[in-house]
Amino acid sequence: MTETAESRLEAVRGRIERAAREVGRDPASVRLVVVSKTFGEVDIKPVIAAGQRLFGENRVQEAQSKWPALKNAHSDLELHLIGPLQTNKVRDAVALFDVIHTLDRPKLARALKTEMAARGKTVRLLIQVNTGEEEQKAGVAPADLPALLALAQDELKLEVEGLMCIPPVDEEPAVHFAFLAKLAREHGLPELSMGMSGDFESAVELGATYVRVGSSVFGSRPPIATTSQDPG
C-alpha cells in the first residue's frame, strides 16, 4: 500500500483511539493537532480534505505565510500556536491563532490580555510548563506556575484551559506527562497538551486532551529552520 498523508492520518487516529480505549478513556476526549510546520499548502490540503481541522504551527511568521488563505477557504479550521511567542509577535498571533499553547510568563500574559481586549477576540490559552526545568527551554518553572495562573486567571481574567509540556529529549516522557497531569488536576485545568509523534500513545494513556503530531502524518521534515531555540 502506498503511504499517503491520508493513510498516515488514519493510522495516527487509530493509534490514538486504541491508546484511549486501553485506559478506558473516550477517544473523542483526545483531539489531534496536526503539526504542519515546514510543510506548505500543497502538503496541507490533502490533510484538510481528509477531514482534519486542528493544525499546529510553531512560528508566527511561517504560519502567516500559509494559513490566512487556508482559513478563508475553510471557516471551521482551528489553528494552534505550539512554539514560543515573543511579545512583539503578540498582535499577529492573536489575529491568526485560535489557541495558544505557550503562555509562560507574566509579560506575555499582560500583552495577550491587552491585544485581545483591543481586538475583541478571545484566544484560548494553555500554559507551557518546563517540566524538566531545562535552562534553554521555554515554559514556566513548575514552582512559578501558581503565581502565573493567579495573574492570568484572577487578575487578567484570561481563559486558561490547561497545561502543555515538551519533555526533555533524553528522559522518559511518561514521567513528565504524569507530572503535568498532576499539576493540571491540582489547579482544576481540563486541557492537557502533550505527546508528539514519538510518544503520543503514552500521553493519551496519561490524560492528554491535545496531542501534537507532525512527522507521523506528513513524513519527516527537511532539516531546516526547525530548532526549538528559534524564537519564532
* Candidate list 19, 111, 213, 232; residue touching ligand PLP; CB under 6 A: 213
Closer residue to ligand PLP, CB minimum distance, 172 or 186? 172
Residue position matching grid coordinates 475583541: 120
Minimum distance, C-beta of residue 227 to ligand PLP, in the bound complex (Å): 10
Q: Are 79 and 98 in contact (CB under 8 A)?
A: yes
Strand partners, 160: 125
Binding of ligand PLP at residue 211 (CB under 6 A)?
no
Segment near ligand PLP (CB under 6 A); pick from 24-32, 111-119, 172-180, 195-203: 195-203
* Candidate list 20, 48, 60, 82; residue touching ligand PLP; CB under 6 A: 82
Binding of ligand PLP at residue 34 (CB under 6 A)?
no
> In degrees, to the nearest 5, what angle opens at C-alpha 202 toward C-alphas 197 and 207?
110
Mark residues 113-152: x for contact with ligand PLP by CB under 6 A, - for none: ----------------------------------------
Strand partners, 110: none
Per residue, the 3-state secondary structure of the chain, as one string, reads: CCCCHHHHHHHHHHHHHHHHHHCCCCHHHCEEEEECCCCCHHHHHHHHHCCCCEEEECCHHHHHHHHHHHHHHCCCCEEEECCCCCHHHHHHHHHHCCEEEEECCHHHHHHHHHHHHHHCCCCEEEEEECCCCCCCCCCECHHHHHHHHHHHHHHCCCCEEEEECCCCCCCCHHHHHHHHHHHHHHCCCCEEECCCCCCHHHHHHCCCCEEEECHHHHCCCCCCCCCCCCCC
- Which cell numbers in the block locate residue 27? 477517544
Minimum distance, C-beta of residue 1 to ligand PLP, in the bound complex (Å): 22
Binding of ligand PLP at residue 58 (CB under 6 A)?
yes
Residue position matching grid coordinates 489553528: 79
How many residues bind ligand PLP, per CB under 6 A? Answer: 14
Q: Are 79 and 71 in contact (CB under 8 A)?
A: yes
Binding of ligand PLP at residue 83 (CB under 6 A)?
yes
Binding of ligand PLP at residue 215 (CB under 6 A)?
yes
Binding of ligand PLP at residue 173 (CB under 6 A)?
no
Closer residue to ligand PLP, CB minimum distance, 35 or 90? 35
Minimum distance, C-beta of residue 154 to ligand PLP, in the bound complex (Å): 27
Minimum distance, C-beta of residue 198 to ligand PLP, in the bound complex (Å): 6
Minimum distance, C-beta of residue 114 to ligand PLP, in the bound complex (Å): 25
Minimum distance, C-beta of residue 63 to ligand PLP, in the bound complex (Å): 12
Residue ranges binding ligand PLP (CB under 6 A): 35, 37, 58, 82-83, 166, 196-198, 212-216
